[in-house]
Amino acid sequence: MKKKLIAGNWKMNGSLAANEALVKALLAGLATPACQVALCVPSIYLGQLQTLVAGSAIEMGAQDLSAHEAGAFTGETSAAMLREFGVRYCLVGHSERRQYHFETDALVAAKAQRALAGGITPIVCVGETLAEREAGKTEEVVKRQLAAVIHANGHCISEIVVAYEPVWAIGTGKTASTEQAQQVHAVLRAQLHAASEHADRIHILYGGSMNAANAAQLLAQPDIDGGLVGGASLKAPDFLSIIASAR
Ligand code: PEP
């Protein structure tokens, strides 16, 4: 059985001093985790993180990458640049990027493709808004979002990570119930199985107000292979407790 994966998403938070204190506290409490652990941090802190986590169980993640290889794309960061800093994972299509930066399914798919070509595992985020859930469109939305990535990436699809993040649960303190989360994860799992004979190896993470109190129950679901954790990843005791529940 594959190990679970717990990935923290710091979003646009941190400072040199705060990052150092947080990572040191995590390393002090981590010992040998039963799961895989990654931190997706603002790109400007990747160099600092690389030094802090060297030789530890914490793997490095970024929060976005360019869909282009190189060139005149001011402000963007390429897959090759991320690789140079030891980045293993990169979030792609986080709902905040879809919402505030107008990222389309096609762009998200292109970014996933660029990550894979550059040796980085994309953590492809999908999820419905509250209005879409209330309109009974949850399955349709997440399947459409994932289908774009499957279509663009063909047989490489077994190399991605998927994160189901209901938009209404991100940063709101509202978590999907274990039943709601498991139901969507099962749909995504079936879609991945139809696309690849190696779909078993794909992690499907749950994200959306995962915290120390609800993690164990969510992570016990058969199709929940880990968590993408925002707010709670900024507090060492909470993040460590989530990691401890992932076995
Ligand atoms: C996220 O940013 O991906 C996330 C799930 O945030 P939070 O845990 O704060 O809801």
Return the active site residues.
Answer: 94, 165
**Residue 165, pLDDT score:** 97
- pLDDT bin (cut points 50, 70, 90) of residue 205 is very high
**Residue 173, pLDDT score:** 85
Ligand 1 in contact with 171 (CB < 6 A)?
yes
Ligand 1 in contact with 230 (CB < 6 A)?
yes
DSSP letter for 2, please. P
**Mean pLDDT along residues 127-155:** 96
**Mean pLDDT along residues 217-227:** 97
**Residue 119, pLDDT score:** 97
**Residue 240, pLDDT score:** 98
Using a pLDDT cut of 70, give the percent of the chain over it. 100
| 179-to-29, 97, 143, 164, 219 alpha-carbon distances in Å | 31, 27, 18, 13, 12
| 19-to-65, 82, 88, 194 alpha-carbon distances in Å | 21, 19, 19, 41
Bigger pLDDT: 39 or 33? Answer: 39
**Residue 215, pLDDT score:** 97
Q: Which atom of ligand 1 is nearest to the CA of 170?
A: 10
Q: Is the pLDDT at 204 greater than 90, yes or no?
A: yes
The residue whose C-alpha atom lies closest to atom 2 belonging to ligand 1 is 230
All structural domains of the chain, each given as residue ranges with its CATH number in brackets, are 5-70+77-245 (3.20.20.70)
What's the rounded Cα separation, in Å, for the pair 115 and 82? 9
**Residue 155, pLDDT score:** 82
Q: Ligand 1 center to residue 177 CA distance, Å?
A: 15
Ligand 1 in contact with 225 (CB < 6 A)?
no
Instruction: Count Cβ atoms below 10 Å from residue 71 Cβ, excluding itself.
Output: 8
Contact 111, 67 (CB under 8 A): yes
Ligand 1 in contact with 166 (CB < 6 A)?
no
Nearest to 92 by CA among 124, 57, 59, 68: 124
The residue whose C-alpha atom lies closest to atom 6 belonging to ligand 1 is 230
Mean pLDDT of the chain: 96
pLDDT tens string 118-130: 999 999 999 999 9
pLDDT tens string 57-108: 999 999 999 999 999 999 999 999 999 999 999 999 999 999 999 999 999 9
**Mean pLDDT along residues 135-151:** 97
- pLDDT bin (cut points 50, 70, 90) of residue 154 is confident
